[in-house]
C-alpha cells in the first residue's frame, strides 16, 4: 500500500517578513523546506514525496533540496487548498497521503508513525496539542475568556486515505480552508486526533525563526570520544602523520600507511558515535586496507557521524614523539585534517609532546598519538 507525502511550500510567507518566502530561509544549516522534506522522505513508510512550490520557484526549491530526492516538484496555487490539490494530482495511485506544511520544519518520525497507525480505523488523522494558556477574545481591550477545555491546536502533517481527501476537496464549497482535515470532516469523513509535538510548531512570525533555531540546537546532545594508537618506527618506511608525508630518517610500520595520528583520530570519532573502533570498521585481516591511506578511515568516520544527523564540533590530536618536530607542520596538518572532516580549520587542534626521552617514545622506538573528538548527535525522538 503506497504512502505518499505532499509538502506544500507555495506560500508567500508574508507574516514572517523575511526577504524570501519563509520555506527558503535557513535554520539549523538547512532551509525549512529541506528539513520538512527530509523528515518525510527518510521515513521508512513513505515511498513517494511531492513538493509544491509557487510559480517561478522550482529552481529555488531544487537548490534548497540539494541532493534530497523527491518524486516531483509541482506548481501550487494562490490558496493553500489549491496547492494541496496540485500536490494530490501528482501522487499517482498512492492509497494514503500525508499533507504537510514546509513551514513546520521539524517533524519527529514518531508523529508520522502515530498518524499512519490511526488510519487503520479512521479516514483521516491529525496531530494536535492541547491548549494550556488562558484564551480570551481581544479587541482594543480584553474581552471574554473562552473556555479552553476541549480545544486543541491542530498541526500538520495530516494523514488521509487518498480517496477520502480527494473526495473532500472535490466537494468543498466553503471559503479557502487553512487545513485539509476540516474539508474531510465537512464531507462526512472521520478524522482521528493523535498526539502532536512541540517541535512541529509552525513558523509564522519573524520571531519564530530564532525560536526554531533554539529548538533545533536543543535536539542535540554533545558526545566525546577518545582515541589512542602506537606504531613502531622503522628504517625504510615512509612517515605519515595527519595525512602528510614528513621527511624523516625513519617511518612508521603498520598494515595501512600507519598514520598513527589519524588512527587515534578515527577511534576518537567512532568512540563519540559509540560505534566500535577502527579495527571493527577496517579489519587488519582484510587485504584491501594494506597500505591504505588513513585519511579514508577518518573520512568514513566523519561520514557515519553525518549520516546519523550529527555535527563535528572539535577535534584535538596529540602526537607523542621526540622527533620529528611537529611545530613546523602543524598548520598544514590542521588544514589536511579539516579537509578530511569537512570542518573549518579552527575546529582542529594538533599538539605534540615529548616524553623526556623516557619510554618507547623517548627512545625513538615508536610514535604514539592521542585524540579527542567532540560531536553533537540528535536525540532519539
With 0-12 / 13-18 / 19 or more C-beta atoms within 10 angstroms meaning exposed / middle / buried, residue 336 is: buried
Q: Under the criterion CB under 6 A, does residue 55 sit at the interface with ligand CTP?
A: no
Stretch that binds ligand CTP, among 99-107, 240-248, 296-304, 309-317 (CB under 6 A): 99-107
In 139-282, at which residue ranges do the beta strands (DSSP E only) sit? 142-146, 152-154, 158-161, 191-195, 220-234, 239-241, 244-246, 251-253
Stretch that binds ligand CTP, among 14-22, 232-240, 252-260, 282-290 (CB under 6 A): 14-22
**Cell numbers at residue 114, please?**
502515530
- Which of 25, 52, 97, 191 is close enough to bind ligand CTP by CB under 6 A? 52
Partner interacting with residue 257 (select from ligand CTP, Mg ion, none; CB below 5-8 Å by kind): none
Q: Under the criterion CB under 6 A, does residue 76 sit at the interface with ligand CTP?
A: yes
- Which of 11, 243, 251, 324 is close enough to bind ligand CTP by CB under 6 A? 11
As measured in angstroms, the least distance from the Cβ of 186 to Mg ion is 20
H-assigned helices in 104-173: 109-118, 162-171
Partner interacting with residue 245 (select from ligand CTP, Mg ion, none; CB below 5-8 Å by kind): none
Partner interacting with residue 107 (select from ligand CTP, Mg ion, none; CB below 5-8 Å by kind): none
- Write down the residue that cell numbers 518525510 correspond to: 40
Q: Under the criterion CB under 6 A, does residue 35 sit at the interface with ligand CTP?
A: no
| Contact (Cβ atoms closer than 8 angstroms) between residue 45 and residue 3 | yes
Residues within window 168-227 making contact with ligand CTP, judged by CB under 6 A: 202, 204
Residues in binding contact with ligand CTP, number by CB under 6 A: 23
Query: What track of x and - describes contact with Mg ion for positions 10 through 49 (by CB under 5 A)?
Result: -x--------------------------------------
As measured in angstroms, the least distance from the Cβ of 78 to ligand CTP is 5
| Contact (Cβ atoms closer than 8 angstroms) between residue 73 and residue 6 | no
With 0-12 / 13-18 / 19 or more C-beta atoms within 10 angstroms meaning exposed / middle / buried, residue 69 is: exposed
Phi, psi for residue 209 in degrees, rounded to 5: -65, -45
Measured distance CA(294)–CA(189) in Å, rounded: 60
Q: Residue 87 or 227: which CB sits closer to ligand CTP? A: 87
How many CB atoms are closer than 10 A to CB 218? 10
Stretch that binds Mg ion, among 5-13, 31-39, 179-187, 347-355 (CB under 5 A): 5-13
Q: Under the criterion CB under 6 A, does residue 127 sit at the interface with ligand CTP?
A: no
**Cell numbers at residue 151, please?**
480545544
Q: Under the criterion CB under 6 A, does residue 153 sit at the interface with ligand CTP?
A: no
Residue with smallest beta-carbon separation from ligand CTP = 11
- Which of 4, 5, 6, 9 is close enough to bind ligand CTP by CB under 6 A? 9
Phi, psi for residue 11 in degrees, rounded to 5: -80, 170
Q: Residue 78 or 358: which CB sits closer to ligand CTP? A: 78
With 0-12 / 13-18 / 19 or more C-beta atoms within 10 angstroms meaning exposed / middle / buried, residue 235 is: exposed
As measured in angstroms, the least distance from the Cβ of 11 to ligand CTP is 2
- Which of 43, 48, 80, 231 is close enough to bind ligand CTP by CB under 6 A? 80
Partner interacting with residue 202 (select from Mg ion, ligand CTP, none; CB below 5-8 Å by kind): ligand CTP
Q: Residue 101 or 229: which CB sits closer to ligand CTP? A: 101
Region of 301 please: left (phi>0), alpha (psi -120 to 50) or beta. alpha
Partner interacting with residue 337 (select from ligand CTP, Mg ion, none; CB below 5-8 Å by kind): none
Residues contacting 23, CB < 8 A, separation 6+ = 9, 11, 13, 31, 32, 33, 36, 64, 102, 103
3-class DSSP state of 138:
strand
Stretch that binds ligand CTP, among 11-19, 206-214, 270-278, 320-328 (CB under 6 A): 11-19
Residue with smallest beta-carbon separation from Mg ion = 11
| CA angle centred on 303, ends 297 and 305, rounded to 5° | 110
| Contact (Cβ atoms closer than 8 angstroms) between residue 379 and residue 220 | yes
Residue numbers at the binding site for ligand CTP (CB under 6 A): 8-16, 21, 23, 52, 76-80, 83, 101-103, 202, 204
Residue numbers at the binding site for Mg ion (CB under 5 A): 11
Amino acid at each position: 500500500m503506497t504512502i505518499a507525502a505532499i509538502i506544500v511550500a507555495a506560500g508567500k510567507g508574508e507574516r514572517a517578513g523575511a526577504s524570501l518566502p519563509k520555506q527558503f530561509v535557513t535554520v539549523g544549516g538547512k532551509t525549512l523546506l529541506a528539513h520538512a522534506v527530509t523528515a518525510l522522505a527518510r521515513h521508512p513508510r513513505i515511498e513517494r514525496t511531492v513538493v509544491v512550490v509557487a510559480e517561478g520557484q522550482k529552481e529555488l526549491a531544487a537548490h534548497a533540496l540539494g541532493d534530497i530526492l523527491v518524486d516531483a516538484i509541482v506548481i501550487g496555487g494562490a490558496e493553500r487548498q489549491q496547492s494541496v490539490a496540485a500536490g494530490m494530482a501528482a501522487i499517482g495511485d498512492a492509497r494514503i497521503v500525508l499533507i504537510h506544511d514546509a513551514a513546520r520544519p521539524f517533524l519527529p518520525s514518531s508523529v508520522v508513525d502515530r498518524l499512519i497507525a490511526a488510519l487503520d480505523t479512521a479516514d483521516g488523522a491529525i496531530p494536535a496539542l492541547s491548549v494550556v494558556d488562558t484564551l480570551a477574545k481581544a479587541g482594543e481591550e480584553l474581552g471574554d475568556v473562552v473556555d479552553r477545555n476541549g480545544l486543541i491546536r491542530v498541526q500538520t502533517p495530516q494523514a488521509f486515505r487518498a480517496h477520502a481527501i480527494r473526495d473532500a476537496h472535490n466537494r468543498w464549497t466553503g471559503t479557502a480552508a487553512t487545513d485539509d482535515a476540516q474539508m474531510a470532516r465537512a464531507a462526512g469523513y472521520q478524522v482521528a486526533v493523535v498526539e502532536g509535538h512541540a517541535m512541529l510548531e509552525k513558523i509564522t512570525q519573524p520571531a519564530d525563526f530564532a525560536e526554531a533555531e533554539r529548538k533545533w540546537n536543543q535536539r542535540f546532545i554533545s558526545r566525546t570520544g577518545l582515541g589512542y594508537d602506537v606504531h613502531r618506527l622503522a628504517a625504510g618506511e615512509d612517515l605519515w602523520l595527519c595525512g602528510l608525508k614528513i621527511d624523516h630518517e625513519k617511518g612508521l610500520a603498520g598494515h595501512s600507511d600507519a598514520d598513527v595520528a589519524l588512527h587515534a583520530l578515527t577511534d576518537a570519532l567512532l568512540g563519540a558515535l559509540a560505534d566500535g573502533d577502527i579495527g571493527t570498521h577496517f579489519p587488519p585481516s582484510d587485504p584491501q586496507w594494506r597500505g591504505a591511506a588513513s585519511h579514508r578511515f577518518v573520512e568514513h568516520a566523519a561520514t557515519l557521524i553525518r549520516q546519523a544527523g550529527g555535527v563535528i564540533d572539535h577535534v584535538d590530536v596529540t602526537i607523542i614523539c621526540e622527533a620529528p618536530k611537529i611545530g613546523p607542520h602543524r598548520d598544514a596538518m590542521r588544514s589536511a585534517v579539516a579537509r578530511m572532516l569537512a570542518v573549518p580549520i579552527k575546529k582542529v587542534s594538533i599538539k605534540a609532546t615529548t616524553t623526556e626521552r623516557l619510554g618507547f617514545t623517548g627512545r625513538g622506538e615508536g610514535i604514539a598519538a592521542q585524540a579527542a573528538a567532540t560531536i553533537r548527535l540528535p536525540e532519539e525522538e
